[in-house]
Chains A and B, each alone.
Chain A
Amino acid sequence: QKEVEQNSGPLSVPEGAIASLNCTYSDRGSQSFFWYRQYSGKSPELIMSIYSNGDKEDGRFTAQLNKASQYVSLLIRDSQPSDSATYLCAVNGGYQKVTFGIGTKLQVIP
């Protein structure tokens, strides 16, 4: 069973702090990794994608990938209350057969 593991949280951070979200996956053949944000009652929206080892930065978001450790993370700098949402880690094993983690609920406290 190909799995993606996330801590469901909630993860609470104060406004302005760095939020660190983590994800591990079991399929070593996975090639594409994504972080989606889902607000309550809404559908997921993509915030970051990463395909190779290392860091990828986009504004306040940094995705980190370590294929040897089968580990993906998302850092959110200067967290804002509007970042409060559930963050879904997704791993694509090919042809859009995407496996999602359960999601980590992030709460940013003003």
Chain B
Amino acid sequence: KAGVTQTPRYLIKTRGQQVTLSCSPISGHRSVSWYQQTPGQGLQFLFEYFSETQRNKGNFPGRFSGRQFSNSRSEMNVSTLELGDSALYLCASSSYGTGKETQYFGPGTRLLVL
């Protein structure tokens, strides 16, 4: 089975721009979660989608948004980029997102905001 894939792997943007990141979960997985990882804050939960519905959201501003498609692929969007948005963005998938399942992480998208 193919693992979680994320595109692009690296991205450089300037302040004020917007960016869209993509995540394809493991085949059959319906839950997709997004995380931001920075050296100072560690891994922080952004949001979780299941069957095209956002079920949970972390403490991030409204500039961070996401969606999930009927094939479980997910995208996250960050508008009006700030320098502090520079981070590794990870997505993780699981079968149903019950909380007891293993989450499988993708390789991440490294975003640099200049």
- A residues apposed to B, CB below 8 Å: 31-32, 34, 42-46, 49, 51, 88, 90, 92-103
Contacts and interface: CB of A to CB of B under 8 A. Distances in A.
Given A88-B43, A97-B56, A43 B103 contact: no
B42 A96 contact: no
A44 B94 contact: no
A1 B100 CA distance: 22
A43 B55 contact: no
A42 B6 CA distance: 13
Contacts of B62: none
B108 A95 contact: no
Query: For chain B, what secondary structure do more than half of its interface residues adopt (helix, strand, loop), or is it mixed?
Result: strand
Given A101-B42, A102-B42, A96 B106 contact: no
B24 interface: no
B105 A96 contact: no
Nearest to B90: A43
Given A43-B107, A100-B42, A102-B42, A49 B102 contact: yes
B22 interface: no
Contacts of B108: 43
A96 B43 contact: no
Nearest to B42: A102
A32 B105 CA distance: 17
A44 B100 contact: no
B75 interface: no
Given A45-B105, A95-B56, A51 B100 contact: yes
Interface in B85-108: 90, 94, 97-100, 102-108
Given A96-B31, A99-B45, 10 more contacts: A31-B100, A32-B100, A44-B90, A46-B102, A46-B104, A49-B100, A90-B43, A96-B55, A96-B97, A96-B99
B33 interface: yes
Contacts of B103: 34, 46, 96, 98
The 6 closest A-B CB pairs, nearest first, are: A100-B43, A43-B105, A102-B42, A96-B97, A97-B56, A92-B99
Contacts of B42: 88, 100-103
